[in-house]
């Protein structure tokens, strides 16, 4: 019997998925835990992915009329107290600043200790989210219906004290964008909420090659203080769910608490209808779990810091300069003449004085979509050795250089399509329909059960009981399935058009 091929990442996904995930992050040199508990250092390759996500989303936001602004990191505690339901939802995750200076004091052994001093009159909360402080600004900025809609986005960091951190997925401090908008009418605000929800769905599909289920959260799962929360839910390779982005219609709850009011068209004072929405560096964790394999990270081309990596193969010193020159010449042509997703190709030549095998495996583990090797024989034949990250690490094609240049963009798109098709197949094969409580209970006894789709009209209390019993939640009420034929609820047997998607999640 042939020995199983050793992979670059140990353990494998099948053996220990959580540890595999941590090892992919490490092997790809994306991030590391910091000295500050629960926080991470995002290294250049990981931050490069975030920069591309940020840049591409920012274009989409501005195309829909939003402007960027920045608001304080510290939120007065009294602001959160004005919105009790919202504050209660984040209370256990809040970090609080209570002093404004340190004093140096010598202890009995002569060692200097820094002691907090200068107690603040009012404590500040390090923002877990910015609805309250942005609402205070909106209350100053909005006077008339002519000031609406107000469409603001912020790129920022937030802090939610996390007891069980995991790089990119759950950290005490993380990076995100948070949109906040104010509108004249309920209908306009709901339209905004749905517009951003669709934008997130399209972005994950078209940029990250991740298919999602778009739906609405139940009352039990809504954002604290919201009237409606829309979500996009992604399935990753261990069949758990990741909430990849949310968009909230807040009604007038925050505008009443923050006095965001305006003179309406009829001359009367009205409260604005507000929304908020966001995605975070959790998207990077989602990419890892959705696409990567037992050899390391696999990146969708649109968010790969280097889409093509060219590796010179120089076994003989006398051919080294010519090969390196050929690699740089090819890179320059690709950058100058080729575009993917309406952007110049991002091409890197790895000219480090390291063995070719070492460099190859580094770029496999980093997930570069295309690797090109050029050695003496390739130089003579006018060909390049191409390896795609969506294929096996030993798979290769020898292409005439001109053919590769002509087809490079199409190959990148084909890699994207392959990743999307794989993720879609995984998701669709692991969503099971269920119409009775016996099958429902049995399903969650499996080790890696996937998701269940059920007819549903149960109460919030019934939902919470089932969620606690099986350590699951209703991920969403899928929007595309809410207008189907009535069917008996799997729990109550009462007819309902509503369908609920249940799953375990990160």
Of all residues in the chain, what percent carry a pLDDT higher than 90? 90
Helices (H), 292-374: 317-337, 356-366
Residue 346 pLDDT grade (very low, low, confident, very high; cuts 50, 70, 90) = very high
Beta-carbon contacts of 191 under 8 Å, excluding residues fewer than 6 positions away, are: none
The region that residue 342 occupies, defined by phi over 0 for left and psi between -120 and 50 for alpha, beta otherwise, is left
Name all domains of the chain by residue range, CATH numbers in brackets. Answer: 17-97+123-291 (3.30.930.10), 306-411 (3.40.50.800), 431-503 (3.30.110.30)
The CB density around residue 60, as the number of other CB atoms within 10 Å, is 15
The CB density around residue 250, as the number of other CB atoms within 10 Å, is 27
Question: 3-class SS at 405?
Answer: helix
Q: Which of the 8 DSSP states describes residue 16?
A: -
Residue 5 pLDDT grade (very low, low, confident, very high; cuts 50, 70, 90) = low
Residues facing residue 232 across a β-bridge: 214, 245
Q: What is the pLDDT of residues 222-245, one digit of tens each?
A: 999 999 999 999 999 999 999 999
Between 80 and 411, residue with greater pLDDT: 411
Residue of 32, 125, 116 whose CA lies nearest to 74? 125
Q: What is the pLDDT of residues 140-174, one digit of tens each?
A: 999 999 999 999 999 999 999 987 889 999 999 99
Which range has the worst mean pLDDT, 36-50, 264-278, 317-331?
317-331
Give the span between the Cα atoms of 459 and 438, in whole angstroms. Answer: 19
Residue 1 pLDDT grade (very low, low, confident, very high; cuts 50, 70, 90) = very low
Phi, then psi, of 175 in degrees rounded to 5? -100, 145
With 0-12 CB in 10 A as exposed, 13-18 as middle and 19+ as buried, what is 426?
middle
What letters, b where the CB count within 10 A reaches 16 and e where it falls short, cover 137-151? bbbeebeebeebbbb
Q: What is the pLDDT of residues 112-137, one digit of tens each?
A: 999 999 999 999 999 999 999 999 99
Do residues 44 and 37 make contact, with C-beta atoms less than 8 angstroms apart? no
Transcribe 426-466 into DSSP letters.
HHHHTEEE--SHHHHHHHTTSSS--EEEEE----HHHHHHH
For the chain, how big is the Rg over CA atoms in Å?
26
- Cα 395 vs. chain centroid, distance in angstroms? 30
Structure-token pair, residue 10: 């140990």
Do residues 202 and 214 make contact, with C-beta atoms less than 8 angstroms apart? no
Residue 216 has pLDDT above 60, yes or no: yes
Task: Name the strand (E) or helix (H) holding 382.
Answer: none
pTM, 2 dp: 0.95
């Amino acid at each position: 019997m042939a020995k199983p091929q050793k992979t670059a990442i140990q353990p494998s996904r099948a053996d220990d998925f959580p540890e595999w995930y941590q090892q992919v992050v490490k092997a790809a040199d994306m991030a590391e835990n910091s000295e500050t508990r629960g926080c991470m250092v995002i290294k250049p390759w990981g931050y490069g992915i975030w920069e591309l996500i940020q840049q591409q989303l920012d274009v989409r936001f501005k195309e829909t009329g939003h402007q960027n602004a920045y608001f304080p990191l510290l939120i007065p505690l009294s602001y959160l107290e004005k919105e009790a339901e919202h504050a209660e939802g984040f209370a256990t995750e809040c970090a609080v600043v209570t002093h404004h200076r340190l004093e140096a004091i010598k202890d009995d052994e002569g060692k200097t200790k820094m002691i907090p001093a200068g107690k603040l009159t009012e404590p500040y909360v390090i923002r877990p989210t910015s609805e309250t402080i942005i609402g205070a600004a909106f209350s100053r900025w909005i006077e008339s219906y002519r000031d609406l809609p107000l469409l603001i986005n912020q790129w920022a960091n937030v802090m939610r004290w996390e007891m069980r951190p995991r790089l990119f997925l759950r950290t005490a401090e993380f990076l995100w964008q948070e949109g906040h908008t104010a509108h004249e009418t309920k209908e306009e605000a709901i339209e905004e909420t749905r517009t951003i929800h669709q934008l997130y769905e399209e972005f994950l599909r078209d940029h990250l090659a991740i298919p999602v289920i778009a739906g609405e959260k139940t009352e039990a799962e809504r954002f604290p203080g919201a009237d409606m929360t829309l979500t996009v839910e992604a399935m990753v390779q261990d069949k758990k769910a990741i909430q990849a982005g949310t968009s909230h219609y807040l009604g007038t709850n925050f505008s009443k608490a923050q006095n965001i009011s305006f003179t309406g068209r009829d001359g009367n004072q009205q409260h604005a209808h507000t929304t908020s929405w966001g995605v975070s560096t959790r998207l990077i964790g989602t990419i890892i779990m959705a696409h990567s394999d037992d050899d390391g990270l696999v990146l969708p081309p649109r968010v790969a810091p280097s889409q093509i990596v060219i590796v010179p193969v120089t076994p003989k010193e006398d051919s080294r300069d010519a090969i390196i020159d050929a690699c740089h010449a090819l890179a320059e042509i690709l950058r100058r003449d080729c575009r993917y997703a309406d952007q110049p190709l991002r091409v890197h030549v790895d000219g480090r004085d390291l063995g070719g095998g070492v460099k190859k495996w580094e770029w496999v583990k980093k997930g570069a979509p295309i690797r090109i090797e050029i050695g003496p024989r390739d130089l003579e034949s006018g060909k390049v050795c191409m390896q795609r990250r969506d294929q096996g690490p030993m798979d290769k094609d020898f292409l005439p250089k001109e053919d590769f240049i002509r087809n490079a963009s199409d190959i990148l798109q084909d890699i994207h399509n392959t990743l999307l098709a794989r993720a879609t197949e995984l998701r669709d094969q692991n969503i099971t329909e269920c119409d009775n409580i016996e099958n429902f209970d049995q399903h969650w006894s499996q080790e890696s059960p996937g998701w269940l789709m059920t007819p549903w009209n149960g109460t919030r209390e019934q939902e919470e009981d089932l969620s606690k019993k099986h350590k699951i939640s209703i991920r969403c009420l899928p929007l595309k399935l809410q207008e189907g034929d009535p069917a008996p609820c799997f729990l109550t047997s009462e007819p309902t058009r509503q369908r609920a998607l249940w799953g375990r999640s990160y």
